[in-house]
Amino acid sequence: MLICPQCKFENPNANKFCQNCGTSLTHHICHECGTEVPLNAQHCDNCGAESGKVWWAIITKEGSGDWDLGSWQDDEDDLPTLPLSTEFTLPLSARPIFKAGSYIDKEQRYQLLEPLPISEENATQTEVCVRVLDCQPYQISPIEAILENLSQGLLTSSSTEISIPKLARAYVELQSSNQPGIPVIHDAWQEGNTQIVLIEDRSDWPRLLELWKDETTSSLQILHWFYQMTQLWGVLEPVKCRQSLLELSNLRLDEDQTLALERLYVDFEADITAEDETLALAEQPFSLKALGDVWQELFRQSQRTQFGAVLQILEDLELRKIHTLAQLRSRLEAIATELEVSPIPSFSPTANQYPTAPTVIQVENELDEDSSAKNDDLPTIVLSMQLSSLEDVGRTDVGRQRQHNEDYFGIETKVNKLELPKNRVLQARGLYILCDGMGGHAGGEIASELAVNTVRQYFQEHWTTDQRPTQENMREAVYLANQAIYQLNQQDARSGVGRMGTTLVILVIQDTEAAVAHVGDSRLYCLTRKRGLEQITIDHEVGQREIARGVEASIAYARPDAYQLTQALGPRDESAIYPDVEFFDINEDCLLILVSDGLSDNDLLETHWKTHLLPLLSSGANLERGVTELIDLANQENGHDNITAILVRAKVRPNMDSQK
């Protein structure tokens, strides 16, 4: 089946357009110039940008036989189809199935972008890797279908082992736990003695070693990478892929300089007999000493000098004085203290999870791994972060059924930037307001606009320093907006359902500090690579009120009035509203999303965040295009109400001056 990239509708493979929304299933739009490009083209004909979907193919041969890629051929004129008997009398390098432009699968979906690196000289090698173009990117792969069923609980990990090639199982197991350091798997199959696994192409990501060599890379940044490696070690150990961290060429960095793996390598298993078991365990290739050896090699190849307490850690790893990840993390915490960072209470991941941010280091005593893995309540140390960019966009749409738009939003930002050859400082503040009015024509739209303008005016007068507004500020702004609408209702002698009102959600950002206040069911979400999509605000509606009272969710939302608002601005005076105010710090790159219920209804964001929001975390993603596609999606899936969204992309980086 073909999955529509716009509305996710399932279409027959023969369809050229989506049956649901009409989107082309044979072409897509170039992200650089907007030209329509065929799906099976690697580059845009207009601007030359790479527009096709490219995967990294790992092709592994079992045994000493020939490479079993089947007898299929490319149909291109320059790659003539040969009879099977003729083909395999040719030298390996001359065989059409090994040439660029040929396919590695019978369905002719995955096309080689370069010759398969197999020749007579290296014909005995058991593995090759190559980039392939996905000529049918909208067609769901068997692995993707399995992962979807796993996420919905329709399958268990154990039940999939028979249908998944051995080489792919570790990717599948780790992908279900959403580990960003591990490349995404797309497809996998076995043909005779050959296994093929297609994963996310990270071959052009910068290598860790290259940045390690950079003179501007600080000791603090190196400390971050050490910590990420210990976390990945804990993730890889259960699936026996720790070897992935021991290959220097496999250590890559994403656009935020967070450690990532290019691919997985399976741990080799040594034969251990009863007589040499003690010796074998002492020389365990996957003890923490091996991780220390990698760190030593990074210092050696980069010609950097080992610094401070890191030198002692490396010596103790070499002498096997550090036995557990908990001990190693505790030692890293001690170095963080050396670098003069302050411990503060914060969310703490379990010991064997990838960190929620590259800067969070858990403070642990020298416990055994089992006890440390169970302790989720330990304090953490958060290394100082600074804002590196703040971008935003907003859009509102009347929807498909309403005659007028009662939603309203406001965005007001101020950015100061200082950039020098060796330093860059960004100070920014942002005020984001979204309202969903009610009260009919010439009512709801008046209330929502009045609320936005009242809040804006309040913060223009009271937010005059570089400090995040206080809880009192946030509440006072809400109460003033309520009072303005309430007085207008009183002045016009509006009564009953004729009284206009509005929901309200306010987000303020001061550098890496944020606050949110809300009344009603307009929401704030936060998306990060580590935690996925999280709803920050809780709707003020009957269903949620009943849940807070201890009623089960299924019973609470079975009420006919479950979605009726319990709070709104304007209909009554301030004694009837109780705005919720929350504060949080931005310690990792995030996308903050303010939405009216026309967009959030029917779990739209929860269902489509991976396709419509997650790509927008990337600095190269166009937020204007992203919010447009989000509005279009809401019109297709919902469309019964006005639709409004504000997207705020905040990116951060370690504050290298914090250690001075």
Q: Which residue has the higher pLDDT, 239 or 653?
A: 239
Q: Name the pLDDT band for 72 (thresholds 50, 70, 90).
A: very low
pLDDT of 158 higher than 90: no
How far is Cα 481 from Cα 453, in angstroms, rounded to an integer? 8
The pLDDT value given to residue 371: 37
Q: What is the mean pLDDT of residues 531-536?
A: 92
Mean pLDDT, rounded, for 350-366: 38
Angle of helix 325-338 relative to helix 288-302, nearest 10 degrees, comes to 40
Closest CA to 357 of 258, 477, 232, 505: 258
pLDDT digits (tens, 9 = 90+) for 162-215: 568 888 889 988 886 667 789 999 999 988 888 899 999 999 999 999 989 888
152 confidence band (pLDDT: 50, 70, 90): low
User: What is the rounded average pLDDT of the residues 640-653?
Assistant: 92
Q: State the DSSP code for 401.
A: T
Residue 382 confidence (pLDDT): 45
List the beta strands (DSSP E) in 343-406.
343-344, 360-362, 380-382, 385-397
DSSP 529-560: TTTEEEE-S---BHHHHHHHTT--HHHHTTST
Which residue has better confidence, 330 or 136? 136
Other residues' Cβ atoms within 10 Å of the Cβ of residue 578: 12
User: pLDDT at residue 598 above 80?
Assistant: yes
pLDDT band at 279 (very low <50, low <70, confident <90, very high): very low
To the nearest whole percent, how much of the chain has pLDDT over 70? 79
Confidence band for 98, pLDDT divided at 50, 70 and 90: low
pLDDT per residue over 568-591, tens digit each? 999 888 888 999 999 999 988 999
**Predicted pLDDT at 293:** 93
pLDDT of residue 605: 93
Segment 417-447, tens digit of pLDDT: 887 766 678 899 999 999 999 876 568 899 9
Return d(Cα 397, Cα 406) in angstroms, integer: 10
Please answer whether residues 116 and 144 qualify as being in contact, where contact means their C-beta atoms are separated by less than 8 angstroms: no
Query: What are the φ and ψ backbone dihedral angles of 566, each rounded to 5 degrees?
Result: -100, -15
In the prediction, which pLDDT does 584 show? 94
Compute the distance between CA of residue 36 and CA of residue 290 in angstroms, rounded to an integer.
50
- Tokens representing 410? 């406001």
Cα–Cα distance measured from residue 482 to residue 569, given in angstroms and rounded to the nearest whole number: 5
Confidence label for 218 from pLDDT (cuts 50, 70 and 90): confident
pLDDT higher at 374 or 9: 9
Give the residue extent of every domain in the chain: 1-45, 52-200, 208-269+285-383, 386-618+639-654
Alpha-carbon distance of 488 to 450, in angstroms, equals: 10
In residues, how long is the chain? 660
Q: Which two tokens stand for residue 519?
A: 């009344």
Q: Are 12 and 20 in contact (CB under 8 A)?
A: no
DSSP string covering 105-140, please? Answer: STTS-EEESS--S--STTTT-SEEEEEEEES-TTBP
Residue-wise pLDDT tens digits, 472-524:
999 999 999 999 999 998 888 777 666 899 999 999 999 999 999 999 999 99
- In this structure, the number of other CB atoms found within 10 A of the CB of residue 525 comes to 20
Q: Facing residues of 187 across strands?
A: 198
Question: Residues 604-638: pLDDT tens digits?
Answer: 999 999 889 998 998 878 999 999 999 999 999 88
Given this model, what pLDDT does residue 540 score? 93
Residue 66 contacts residue 21 (beta carbons within 8 Å): no
Q: Which two tokens stand for residue 502?
A: 């509005």
CATH 3.90.110.10 is the classification of domain 386-618+639-654: no
CA angle 268, 272, 275 (to 5 degrees): 160
Q: How confident is the model at residue 656 (pLDDT cuts 50, 70, 90)?
A: low
User: What's the mean pLDDT when you consider all of the chain?
Assistant: 81
Which pair of structure tokens corresponds to residue 384? 């100082």
More confident residue, 159 or 541: 541
Rg of the chain taking only CA atoms, in angstroms: 28
Closest to 541 in 3D by CA, of 526, 524, 556, 525: 556
What pLDDT is recorded for position 660? 43
